[in-house]
Structure 1
């Protein structure tokens, strides 16, 4: 007979006692685990379609395996120009969003933390959070109404931008390709910055007030508080959030893109997600769409692993 290791038995008993002690918390986690299994891990089996000559009547498992042919066809075949254009647009939109959009929630969190009256702060936070809970259809509808100048709508923002000289007279913002990326990024900042500031605000609230009092005793001003106390206290949160953001560099949702772009803005507005939607669903070439989506996922995974490695080398904070 093989004797069991007493140390291993003691570990099992120890962990069993921990689970029994806080069993209510583990029960609350069960719905989330089930959701991840059904909606995150189970659909991964569908990635096989990228390596198949997919026939709807045969299904994914019944279709012939063709290796990397779909990827080669995607990158060098008839769809190559559209694919690389979508890849470039996705990267640029994400990069500009990271550069211009990432600091905004941090600034909002700093401003919220300076409001000492709880009621006023909650009111301001509520107004900042509100756009996040509006649907993409509602948000894009508002944007198009404010920017489109027609017989019925006046395009208040479009008129204002024209009057101050930022947009040439007679130019339609929503019909001009070079305005699409700024329009998409500004809309995203307006919609999500307030909600994203919650994480940074919580990090600021977790900093010990003793540190601020010590700096004041030393004669520090508000900017020195932010530089020497607030930012160092937020550093772990900032690092984690920027790693996650880099991992989503190529994850530009198709909903707002499809609602905002048109034939005139196609060359700067088409991204990988809209390309997959168009090729996979509208054109019925699910295998090519699956290959494009898998390529997107691999690049995103590589980015987050690389960002995590760099963070671990230059700081003490990382995802793993």
Structure 2
């Protein structure tokens, strides 16, 4: 791939491969076809048997074991080369109806870096830049919010397909080569779909990393699972791609006194289709479920008394 390019130039890509069939055994007949965009091919190093506008065909007979023949294809590809540089996922486990999930995503166009001037004309999208992007959500996802550090981004659409929902969105600005952006995606899912009761124990079962951008690798992911205050983690079962960094104490929101247990997970080079469910079993006494209603009642009572005291004080001035 070219390292840099101008705004109006095409993005040129080089593909290296072994055009022959590499096997421990001999092969009588072998055909390999490379599909390309129309009229995008610029160069090739091995003469093909067939050249068309949108594909190349190589045919071989009587191949020996472990045969190699280096092939280089140079062609134009103006698709953005997107990669998820980092994913910070927060899972807020709540026993009162909803589990809140928030993904903070840093997305980068890893294609040829843009040099020189550029412009954004709605009718003319820059070559190798992003347009509409897609991610998938659970079918039961509610209260979907998409925003970045500057606030709400209004160009979003949610489509319900029955078994899942698709979020169609645009970043605040198109990502040209070498550019990156950070955005947040937050939504709620019903607790009963992911949390199961085992006596005084509870089991959380859900995906550690869900869909981010279709068919894009997640270079680095950190997942924090906030359990209810007073919980004691009993067992953590993780898929092979995810590792356990440890446990912490912290707060998420105002209804927190001593700190909530946080299970911290991490993973590198993740593909959403290969990530499986995590399972966290924890112990929680039923009396701790009353803490949140008691705190809310106490806050309201203190506020009510403070208002009455202030009114009484100012009426006697």
Q: Given the two structures, how large is their TM-score scaled by the length of structure 2?
A: 0.24
Task: Give the number of the structure with larger relative contact order, counting CA–CA contacts within 8 Å between residues 6 or more apart.
Answer: 1
